Amino acid sequence: MQSEGPFPGVLDMYGTGGGLPEYRACLLSAHGFVVLALAYYGYQDLPKDMRKLQLEYFEEASTFLRTHPKVAGPGIGVIGASKSGDLALLLATFTPGISAVVSINGCNAVAVFPITYKGTVFPGLIGDSSKVTVMKSGVADIRDTLNNPLEGENQKSLIPIEQADCRFLFLVSEDDRNWNSPFFAEEAVKRLKAHGKDNFEKVVYPMAGHYLEPPYFPHCTASLHMLVGMPVAWGGEAKSHAMAQIDMWERIDAFLKEHLGTGKHCSSAKL
């Protein structure tokens, strides 16, 4: 007989594609988690783009999930992929009740668009379109377009994750062509270490591309980028990418169970 709970809670977010992807949330829920798949633009009455994002919206979602009677406390987990990776880091840094954060090919700075919180504006790290290269296939390579967050005024976009009271799992594709996620993850780890923190794990997957999805999802090598307005390369080699997705899922499942205190209520993983 299945348990009535409570169960560990997870807030699940995706990137610049917008809308409401729910497949990862559905899979996690089958493994004993209460999951809120959170859309934040391009869905129903939400903003049409990311130009006016407010962290209060994400905080409200986090509080709703954390205080749900079926959710075990005291804190919840957050999964962010690509653009929502920095949203997950911001949420853990500035709002209470986050115990575990999974960042999948995210950025250690606020990427592209600014976000506000309680009247403070966190500027977005912008890119240089002149660095875009177009391959013979007509697909763009945008890996190096985002500015270095460690240089000059760009440092204002860095997220002070050392303030967060949670565990971090950074999952990184070595051949990410969307942006330099290995560099961003390494700098996030360096920042934590510099502040005497050891609350992190970092896993780098050689020859994996940007879109790390649940196991057995097809490898997406290129597709239309909503912000660029043309097809871009995501990187990766098919077999290596597939193996990375299998390993990643096992790590996410174990990480969340360890740091959210699953107890006897969480079902065992079968995928």
Pick the CATH number of 7-126+147-216+237-260 from 3.60.110.10, 3.20.20.80, 3.30.70.2740, 3.40.50.1820: 3.40.50.1820
One-character DSSP codes across 96-133: S-EEEEEEES--SB-BSS-EEETTEEEPPBPB-GGG-E
**Mean of pLDDT values over 191-202:** 98
* For the chain, domain boundaries: 7-126+147-216+237-260
- DSSP code for 151: S
Share of residues in the chain with pLDDT > 70 (%): 96
Residue 11 has pLDDT above 50, yes or no: yes
Q: What is the distance between the alpha carbons of residues 111 and 133, in angstroms, rounded to a whole number?
A: 20
Instruction: Note the pLDDT of residue 266.
Output: 44
Mean pLDDT within 92-121: 96
pLDDT band of 268, cuts 50, 70, 90: very low
**Of residues 29, 62, 82, 103, which has the active-site annotation?**
82
Annotated catalytic residue within 103, 176, 241, 259? 176
Annotated catalytic residue, options 210, 219, 241, 259 = 210
Residue 247 falls in the annotated catalytic set: no
Q: Would you call 210 a catalytic residue per the annotation?
A: yes
**Residue 33: C-alpha distances to residues 16, 26, 36, 127 (Å):** 25, 9, 10, 37
Nearest to 115 by CA among 105, 123, 107: 123
Position 30 pLDDT exceeds 90: yes
Mean pLDDT along residues 151-161: 97
